[in-house]
Amino acid sequence: MNQLHHEKLLYLHEAFDMGHEMCLIEEFVSGGELFEKIVEEDSLMSEDEVRDYMHQILLAVAHMHKNNIVHLDLKPENILLKNKTSTDIKIIDFGLARKLDPNKTVKLLFGTPEFCAPEVVNYQAVSFGTDMWTTGVISYVLLSGLSPFLGDTDEETLANVSAADWDFEDPAWDDVSDLAKDFICRLMVKDKRRRMTVQQALQHPWIVGPMLAAFEDLSDYVKVC
């Protein structure tokens, strides 16, 4: 956390090693979980709102990846609002975060089934792409209010993730733009090498939003899942 000072990441003021335990003095964030905002309002966010939150998440992830750190536990519960009236977010919970070393392989034994990437489920090496998969899942959840891989049991959920078995068939997607769907399609790809990097995601036309007018024709950009 000392290497992750960024306005979109929870700030660590001090850390005290007390031998048998660690005491962390962290920034106070009072707005609650982003997930709670969805539940409390009992209605879907607008696509513009989701775009804004995803842009902020990508900025945070970009800072982490620039420092060769992967979060590995991104999910709506780990995204807080600064206060009750703010739309500014803070990413928290770096308990699973790792600094990647090109000469070492990192594998993960833990995670939240609905937000795990296929390589985590299959106990394969994680990478920056692991965070990008999860970013796609968060986008899916915020835009539709649905969990793309949720099964009746954790085992069923993990099997769905491993197979990368998801779609846009629910009526909740009828009013979502093709650009938003394309953004998700380029992240929730089973082969982690084919997922967008965080910089590519930040430059995606859906995230760029208001600047889309600068593009004469986006028809070649948008693909069909």
Instruction: Say what the pLDDT of residue 209 is.
Output: 77
CA distances from 56 to 11, 67, 103, 131 (A): 16, 17, 31, 14
The Cα–Cα gap between 90 and 80 comes to: 5
Structural domain spans, the chain: 31-214
- Amino acid identity at 178: D
Q: What are phi and psi of 123, to 5 degrees?
A: 50, 50
User: What are the pLDDT tens digits along the chain (225 aa)?
Assistant: 888 989 999 998 898 999 999 998 888 999 999 888 766 666 678 999 999 999 999 999 999 999 999 999 999 999 999 998 889 999 999 999 999 998 899 998 878 999 999 999 999 999 999 999 999 999 999 999 999 999 999 999 999 999 999 999 999 999 999 999 999 999 999 999 999 999 999 999 999 976 654 555 555 566 656
Which pTM value belongs to this model?
A: 0.90
- What CATH number has the domain spanning 31-214? 1.10.510.10
Strands (E), 38-182: 69-70, 79-81, 89-91, 98-99
Strands (E), the chain: 12-17, 22-26, 69-70, 79-81, 89-91, 98-99
**CA–centroid distance for 67 within its chain:** 17
- Amino acid identity at 161: V
Q: Of all helices (H) and strands (E), which one includes residue 163?
A: none
pLDDT digits (tens, 9 = 90+) for 41-65: 666 789 999 999 999 999 999 999 9
The first and second tokens of residue 28, run together, are 């106070």
- Give me the sign of the Cα torsion angle 198, 106, 167, 146: negative
The first and second tokens of residue 177, run together, are 């733009």
- Which positions are annotated as active-site residues? 73
With 0-12 CB in 10 A as exposed, 13-18 as middle and 19+ as buried, what is 23? exposed
The first and second tokens of residue 16, run together, are 């005290």
